[in-house]
Amino acid sequence: MIELFDIGKVFRNKDIETKALSNINMSVSDGEFVSIMGPSGCGKTTLLNIIGLIDSPSSGKYLLDDKLVSDISERNRTEMRKDNFAFIFQSFNLIDDLTVRENIELPLIYQKMAQAERTIYVNQVLERFTLKHRANYFPNELSGGQQQLVAVARAVVAKPRVILADEPTGNLDSTHGEDIIQQLIQLNEAGMTIIMVTHSMMQAQRSHRIIHLFDGHVVTESYSKVATNL
């Protein structure tokens, strides 16, 4: 499904050149749950942004469903991103002026879905994530755990093929963090591909495979007990 060959990323600022990624080779199969780990600044988020077509690599090839996407136009990248990926961020990234319902509905509006159909989809997701009683609340009226739950609901409402989660529990206590991990596990068990950046080995071990980055390189790759028990 996702194949990266010798991916490199260089950021240039005047006379300064920073190599964020170098010679990344990896693949993710449909239905996998993969964790990406490594110290701060090692390129984890950069890699996630390239996979999610937010950014493009400086070198190498990226194939999505056997189609070369590493050098496609911005317009085509936007369309492919909308059709395939959804993001969950550490900082929630909810819109403060929109209610829970409106935040969840937003991806469907971008897809130009009809109002009646949007209502059905949003109601299903509110029910699934037990957020119906919070539908008309604003983000600042929710706890951190509730806000991240809304962010997960917003990510899945358009039924993406892949969820890219960047430190999804980083701002949460252990209890709410576990709630989010359980939601991701359930989504994966239902067939959704998950790629998660995390600093937590305990959480990474709940995925199928763990990829370790260091200084922009893949240094180790291992399968978790979850994968070996499948």
* Sequence-ordered list of residues with C-beta below 8 angstroms from that of 128, at least 6 positions apart, any chain: 153
Encoded amino acid at 69, one letter: V
Domain count, the chain: 1
pTM of the model: 0.92
Encoded amino acid at 94, one letter: L
Going residue by residue through the chain, which has 230 residues, state the pLDDT in tens, using 9 for 90 and above. Answer: 999 999 999 998 877 889 999 999 999 999 999 999 999 999 999 999 999 999 999 999 999 999 999 889 988 998 899 889 999 998 899 999 999 999 999 999 988 999 999 999 999 999 999 999 999 999 999 999 999 999 999 999 999 999 999 999 998 999 999 999 999 999 999 999 999 999 999 999 999 999 999 999 999 999 876 665 65
Range of the domain at 87: 2-228
Domain with residue 163: its CATH number is 3.40.50.300
- Render 72-100 in DSSP notation, one character per residue: --HHHHHHHHHHHEEEEETT----TTS-H
